[in-house]
Amino acid sequence: MTYGLANGPTMIAAVDQDLICAIATPPGQGGIGVVRISGIGAKKVAETLCAKPLKPRKAVYCEFTHQNERLDDGIALWFPQPHSFTGEEVVELQGHGGPVVQQRLLTALCAAGARIARPGEFSERAFHNGKLDLAQAEGIADLIASTSVAAARAALNTLKGTFSARVNEIKDNLVSLRVQLEAAIDFPDEDIEILEQAGVVEKLRSLAEQLQQTLATADQGRLLNNGIQVALIGSPNVGKSSLLNALVGEDAAIVTDIPGTTRDLLKIDLLINGLPIRLVDTAGIRSGVDKVEQQGVARARAQMTEVDLVLLVVAAPDLQRSQMENLVAEVQNQALAQNLEPPKILIVANKVDLVDQSVHIPAHANVAVSALTGQGLDDLRAAIQKQVGFGQDNAEFTARTRHIEALKIAAVQIFRAQQGIEKGLATELVAEELTHAQHHLGSITGELTADELLGKIFSEFCIGK
């Protein structure tokens, strides 16, 4: 396995510098369309199209011409190396935003020696050239994909390096601890005293705390970034589809008083208190039904283990404890059978408008609502948010599942180092735990990230990014 090293004081990076081009604006029609060119010779190739000399960072108006045919007109912007997004020589051609006109520009550029960029290749080059680290590059993708103001704010912080700075701070503390441990290795007879004098145990404890805090913030950022999947599960006619409609505020799902109305899964994206949610309506669970409904029920059951949170809907007028318990057991058994962690569950008693308001909804339902009148919907939103542990204000930066995994592994290794010292383990072994922790933290910013993982991360970006 080879490692790509970035962002160090001296750059060691085997990066392609061949000329790449791509449309940087979204597909479709628009007032302006930008074609980006990066690599050695970008200026020269662009000048053949523009038939004019370009000036550094100055907009130059030109007619883009190829083989004596005018393709478009617009402005060309030249960013000399290294002061560009990729750190290479970059030219942006800003013409009209139409798929054919932009495609013709690409064809002309390829005829002049460029090639079409792979998805994420511009960001990948920016990373290899030390313009941004891996978490920051992922922040760009998160910012572009953000679906709420809170997510956009947090992603911008990631892009600006807030998350990386936290990780680097932990890593720096960890490195200085390692230095102290390694100093003790050279004096095996006095190692315990050396470690005690240096306060290594306390420093490890405070490092573990620092890591836990970052992990908690990153986990909020991951929720904000990825959102969660929530399924409405329950018997037929309890009002699952009505609840979906009430939560999304539109008549998306068919509602009738005939049990077994919903068969297909219906997935709708919405925001609940800033948290992106994919809400899934499912067929009512029952047996002995026709072939079509059986398929719907099977799909509903499959959802039980595919989502983060299950809203178990029951009808308040005929709320039976045994019915709820059976449903909860069914969700848990589905997960158990597949060796999966069971999803979180909220029991929602619907149709409270039909019960005498003085009647206490049994304590075993978490929330009481009416999809018809809207009663209790705010409580339901708050309960969803609470159940997944999301607080919009705590999401300072966006993070991804791979970051959380790396932080968790580093936390375990620091914990093992703590235990190692307490149990008098050889200092070499304790230092080794810290080295592993350092590598995992380094994988977040891409300082030590396997090439194939880098390739995978960037390939998920879109073309032109």
- CB-CB contact of 331 with 312 (8 Å): yes
- Is residue 123 involved in binding Mg ion (CB under 5 A)? no
The values of phi and psi at residue 66, to 5°, are -135, 130
Position 242 contacts Mg ion (CB under 5 A): no
Indicate the residue type of 253. A
For residues 320, 324, 329, 331, the Cα torsion angle rounded to the nearest 10 degrees is 150
User: Do 227 and 278 meet the contact criterion of CB atoms below 8 Å apart?
Assistant: yes
Residue among 298, 329, 354, 382 that touches ligand GTP (CB under 6 A): 354
CA dist 217 → 155, 158, 309, 396 (Å): 13, 12, 21, 7
Q: Is 317 in the site for ligand GTP (CB under 6 A)?
A: no
Secondary structure element (H or E) that encloses residue 170, with its range? helix 162-185
Q: Which of 33, 74, 221, 239 binds ligand GTP (CB under 6 A)?
A: 239
Indicate if the alpha-carbon torsion angle 231, 236, 238, 241 is positive or negative.
Answer: positive
Other beta carbons within 10 Å of 46: 28
- Which of positions 261-300 make contact with ligand GTP (CB under 6 A)? 261-262, 283-284
Contact track, ligand GTP, 178-217, x by CB under 6 A: ----------------------------------------
Question: Is there binding between residue 247 and ligand GTP (CB under 6 A)?
Answer: no
Size of the site for ligand GTP (CB under 6 A): 24
**Cβ nearer to ligand GTP, comparing 197 with 373:** 373
- Please tell me whether residue 282 binds Mg ion under the rule CB under 5 A: no
- By CB under 6 A, tell whether 175 contacts ligand GTP: no
Name the segment binding Mg ion (CB under 5 A); options: 164-172, 179-187, 240-248, 409-417. Answer: 240-248
50 binds ligand GTP, rule: CB under 6 A: no
Task: Pick from 71, 117, 223, 255 the residue near ligand GTP by CB under 6 A.
Answer: 255
Taking CB within 5 to 8 Å according to partner kind, which of Mg ion, ligand GTP, none is near residue 371?
Answer: ligand GTP
- Pick from ligand GTP, Mg ion, none: which does 4 bind, CB < 5 to 8 A by kind? none
Phi then psi for residue 30, to 5 deg, are: -160, 165
Taking the CB of residue 111, how many other CB atoms lie within 10 A of it? 13
Which of 84, 136, 241, 445: binder of ligand GTP (CB under 6 A)? Answer: 241
For residue 98, give the DSSP letter: -
| Total residues binding Mg ion (CB under 5 A) | 4
- The DSSP line for 397-420 is S---HHHHHHHHHHHHHHHHHHHH
Residue of minimal Cβ distance to ligand GTP:
284
- d(CA 382, CA 367) in angstroms, rounded, equals 10
The residue type at 449: T
- Are the C-beta atoms of 88 and 81 separated by less than 8 Å? yes
For residue 259, the partner it binds in Mg ion, ligand GTP, none, with Cβ less than 5 to 8 A by kind, is: ligand GTP
Print burial letters for 144-155: b (CB count within 10 Å at least 16), e (below 16): eebebebbbbbb
Does residue 235 interact with Mg ion by CB under 5 A?
A: no
Rounded to an integer, what distance in angstroms lies between the CA atom of residue 234 and that of residue 244? Answer: 13
Residue 413 Cβ, how far from Mg ion at the closest point, in Å? Answer: 48
Quick check: 402 binds ligand GTP (CB under 6 A)?
no
- By CB under 5 A, name the one of 262, 303, 350, 418 that touches Mg ion: 262
Answer for which of 257, 341, 356, 393 binds ligand GTP (CB under 6 A) is: 257
- Distance between CA 346 and CA 388 in Å, rounded? 10
Candidates 242, 303, 334, 366; binder of ligand GTP (CB under 6 A) is 242
Q: What are phi and psi of 406, to 5 degrees?
A: -65, -40
Total Cβ atoms within 10 A of residue 117:
24
Task: Choose which of 241, 305, 385, 392 interacts with Mg ion (CB under 5 A).
Answer: 241
237 contact choice in ligand GTP, Mg ion, none (CB below 5 to 8 Å, kind-dependent): ligand GTP
Least CB distance to ligand GTP at residue 313 (A) = 6
Query: For ligand GTP, which residue of 86, 157, 350, 427 counts as binding (CB under 6 A)?
Result: 350
200: left (phi over 0), alpha (psi -120 to 50) or beta: alpha
Binding site for Mg ion (CB under 5 A): 240-241, 261-262
Binding site for ligand GTP (CB under 6 A): 234, 236-242, 255-257, 259-262, 283-284, 350-351, 353-354, 370-372
